[in-house]
Chains A and B, each alone.
Chain A
Amino acid sequence: MGRAERIAAAIVIAGGLAVAWHAYAHLKLGMMISPGAGFLPFCVGVSLAVLGAIWLGMSLTAAQAQAAPAEEAPAEAPARHPVIARLVPGVILVIAYGWFFERIGFFLATVLFMIAWQKGIEREGWGKTLLISFVCAGAMYLLFNFLLKGVLPTGSWFG
């Protein structure tokens, strides 16, 4: 957690400075009587940089205080880290779903997403996968198309 916090704090500092610079250079700060479009973002950017520095300082102090005990190696390393095994494919699947959504249409994209999820992430059998995928896509279609009266794409690839 300590290392992750320090990286996050550094990102906050860098982000805050970038925002403040952008607000100052590209958006107008204006005058006190009539603040410009960049005034609040500038203040927020500077605040973020200062808060990030405080967070970094606190994180470094905490790390020094806990530095004494050496880290023990885990007894048995997991075969595949869940971030790689489940989270990364999950995120890729959602992005792919967005990419295909308008191209092949809502229904087909939803069925394919569910099949990929059940087979690729949950490692389910084909029977269960197909059943869940079609039931889920059908339920989503009924909910968004009929009940919520949304306009869902039918697929630009199919004309």
Chain B
Amino acid sequence: MDIFSGLLQGFAIAFTPMNLLFAFIGAVLGTAVGVLPGLGPAATIALLLPATYSISSPVTAIILMAGIFYGSMYGGSTTSILLNLPGEAASVVTCIDGYKMAQQGRAGAALGIAAIGSFVAGTVGIVGMTFFAPAIAGFALSFGPPEKFSLAVVGLLLAVTLSGASIVKGLIMMATGLLLANVGLDPISGKTRFAFGVTELNSGFDFVTLAMGVFGLGEIFYGLEQTMKGELVTTKVGQVWPTMKDWVASRMAILRGTLIGFFIGVIPGGGAVISSLVSYAVEKRVAKDPSRFGHGAIEGVAGPESANNAASSSSFIPLLTLGIPGNASIAMIFAALLIKGVTPGPFLIQEHPEIFWGVIASMYIGNVMLLVLNLPLVGLWAQLVRVPFAIMAPVIILFTAIGSYSVQGQVFDIYSLVGFGLFGYALRKLKIEAGPLVLAFVLGPMVESAMRQSLLMSGGSFAVFVTRPISATLIGLFVALAIGQAGMALWKRRRATTGNSNRT
């Protein structure tokens, strides 16, 4: 099937009333989640994982979740601009100039350019995905167990090293995720691991419970500790269509942001947060007058908002073509596909073209829905932050508890949920990213089976991972990147030390 007939088939699927409805629900929920501070897209998709059991079609389930993911990128800018309150991490950088613009009475222009930039970048990202994804999937068909192992491990390591957080803590999370994935029956020997006589653990920890606990309940437990109440500031939105001057100032920023976001989003661990930061740094560097940044420069809103949307679209590429989720939200979508009996990877496009093309087509439609939802209704979305935590917190707790119970019908999952919630709370307190944990948990079974198959193939030699060309290239690329990163860090440290000694 060529790209255009695939896309046509995808639109035929995406335009069915049920899929349109779920794309709309996803876009609305995603925008709401983006607006509400504290509850990120990963947590919301985690909360909705139990619902995937009730949605009969896997395409519909993934359309819903994809809508939440890219919708949250749109919504995140609203509270960043109006209230200086980033709804999710990728919109933190938007606060810097967006809020300043709002204070100067230009909230409408900031919101308008954020929404339009998001739409352009999101659409370009999907177009890129439409053309690149089938080629990558075709290439990945030749992957054997050693390549799969190297790809999964390199993907995990990239997620750790590129996340911007502590590498040691990230590696600890990755190891913990692999360990948690080991709980239960060993698929090869049939031996029970780390169950310690608890029969409910024979089948291992449930991903839904783990994800809802670490992300959903962990966030709420952390929020319970914060006694301060957010100050609600109302800013007049005004005209949301940017002026010609704004357009001229932003058009290149949108283009650069789109390209940056697209390429960073493809790399596991890259994603929306890094791309928005990189885009802001690039805009500041290429600006004729960088001193405007931080004082209401429209490029400081247009670039990062375009970048995070392009990244959210392109981060579907490694999932749909290689079966490698690059960030926590995509890991949730990976899990949702597994729940529906679909294994994401190079065979997806051949075995389930309706999912592959249906999801891509729904993203085009979803982007248009988001533009329509966000531009005229922006004032309404800003009111969402008025929902008191006193109501939101227990409702989310109930949602996670009943959701985890409903998966297997056992109370044990509610207790596991509390355990994972406390674990998620501890991670927040220690400023540890939970992303690598979830990624490793999802990829754990594949990593282990690919490793064991590879060792069997090679007669017990680990050399198989560096003697096969694709596997060796993947490892080589990672090593080169790691050395490059270490070199950069050393160079920065040396420069800082030299600067300090020159001053003294």
Contact = CB atoms under 8 A, between A and B. Distances in A.
A22 B409 contact: no
A37 B402 contact: no
5 contacts: A5-B430, A35-B451, A45-B179, A48-B175, A94-B414
A44 B225 contact: no
A144 to B, nearest CB: 5
Interface of B: 50-51, 53-54, 168-169, 171-172, 175-176, 178-179, 182, 186, 188-189, 191, 193-194, 217, 220-221, 224-227, 390-391, 393-395, 397-399, 401-403, 405-406, 409, 411, 414-415, 417-418, 421-422, 425-426, 429-431, 447-448, 451-452, 455-456, 459-461
A144 B395 contact: no
A54 B455 contact: no
B193 A37 contact: yes
Nearest to A38: B193
B54 A147 contact: yes
B496 to A, nearest CB: 15
A65 to B, nearest CB: 14
Contacts of B414: 94, 97-98, 101
Given A122-B390, A140-B398, A33 B455 contact: yes
Interface string A126-148: 00000010001000100010011
A47 B178 CA distance: 11
A148 B50 contact: yes
Contacts of B430: 1, 4-5, 8
Contacts of A35: 451-452, 455
Nearest to B394: A117
A155 interface: no
Interface in A79-119: 82-83, 86-87, 90-91, 94-95, 97-99, 101-102, 106, 110, 113-114, 117-118
Contacts of B455: 32-35
Contacts of A12: 172
Contact of B461 (A19, A32, A48): A32
Interface string A7-34: 0100010001001001000011001111
Nearest to A148: B54
A132 B21 CA distance: 29
A44 B415 contact: no
Nearest to A22: B194
A58 interface: yes
Contact of A152 (B182, B189, B406, B417): B406
Given A40-B182, A41-B182, A48-B179, A87 B54 contact: no
A89 to B, nearest CB: 9
Contacts of B418: 91, 94-95, 98
B391 A132 contact: yes
A47 B156 CA distance: 15
A90 B171 contact: no
Given A33-B460, A124-B390, A140-B398, 13 more contacts: A1-B430, A4-B430, A8-B430, A32-B455, A33-B459, A44-B178, A47-B175, A48-B175, A82-B226, A113-B398, A118-B394, A122-B390, A148-B53
**Which of A47, A144, A147 has the most chain B CB within a 10 Å cutoff?**
A144
